[in-house]
Amino acid sequence: MRKIFLFAAFSFSVFFGVFPQTTVSLLLQNNSSITINGTSNLLSFKLIQRGDKLVNKTFLFVATQNRNKIILSQNQYSIVVRNFDSNNKMALRDFLKLLKVNIYPEIKIQLNYIEKTGYEESNEYTNGLASVNITITNVTCQYLIPISSNKSGDLYNLNGQIKLNIKDFGLVPPIEMFGLLKVNNWINIDFNLICKIIPSNNSL
């Protein structure tokens, strides 16, 4: 199944002033990143997956606009859990163990829709909300995520952030050092995607 990363969809709103549907190509750049930030009672930690580790960097799909909502065809994306890295090797080890990576090697994201909430007249900056399903260890939760996009040359910088409680997915945070180190239930996931977006000459 062809997969597409959900936040890249947001910038396609700039093409929808004329056509209700548009065929779009997307090229994901290597300077993109996905970052997971967490804390414990003693320290904070950061896990990052850079663009060169993200799978499927080139996509072709149909984007459809219904009023202020944008819907994409074939829009599920999988994040390979083992492709995360960290300077804190203990945190990375515990993260892989927590997500049961040998059984569930991927985090899956499914876009329901993107709703445009504001834009600049130049179309160089837009913001909105993305309704998404996130699946971790085969448990799916639905979220509404604020997202934004800005344009620089022929590239779009797409950003989104979501705060998750890992207990929503039935996960129990690890307790280390005989109970002295306790990981917080809440984590922040930051998406920073740099994309080149090319609309087809044959819009629908």
pLDDT per residue as tens digits for the range 59-74: 777 777 777 777 777 6
pLDDT at 85 over 60: yes
Task: Give the residue-averaged pLDDT of 164-185.
Answer: 74
pLDDT at 201 over 60: no
Residue type, 177: M
CATH number belonging to domain 6-199: 2.40.128.110
3-state secondary structure labels for all residues of 53-70: HCCCCEEEEEEEEECCEE
Percent of the chain whose pLDDT exceeds 90: 21
Task: Give the residue-averaged pLDDT of 20-40.
Answer: 83
Least confident of 12-21, 75-84, 188-197: 12-21
pLDDT top residue among 3 and 90: 90
- Rounded to two decimals, the pTM is 0.79
What is the spatial distance between Cα 5 and Cα 119, in angstroms, rounded to a whole number? 21
Spans of all domains in the chain: 6-199
What is the spatial distance between Cα 164 and Cα 185, in angstroms, rounded to a whole number? 8
Task: Give the residue-averaged pLDDT of 154-178.
Answer: 81
pLDDT band at 122 (very low <50, low <70, confident <90, very high): low
Least confident of 52-56, 124-128, 135-139: 124-128
Instruction: Give the pLDDT confidence score for residue 70 in this predicted structure.
Output: 78
pLDDT band at 165 (very low <50, low <70, confident <90, very high): very high
Q: Are 62 and 21 in contact (CB under 8 A)?
A: yes
Q: Are 128 and 65 in contact (CB under 8 A)?
A: no
Cβ neighbours of residue 196 under 8 Å, at least 6 residues apart? 26, 27, 29, 154, 155, 156
Percent of the chain whose pLDDT exceeds 70: 75
Q: Are 111 and 132 in contact (CB under 8 A)?
A: yes
Instruction: Give the pLDDT confidence score for residue 178 in this predicted structure.
Output: 42
pLDDT at 116 over 90: no
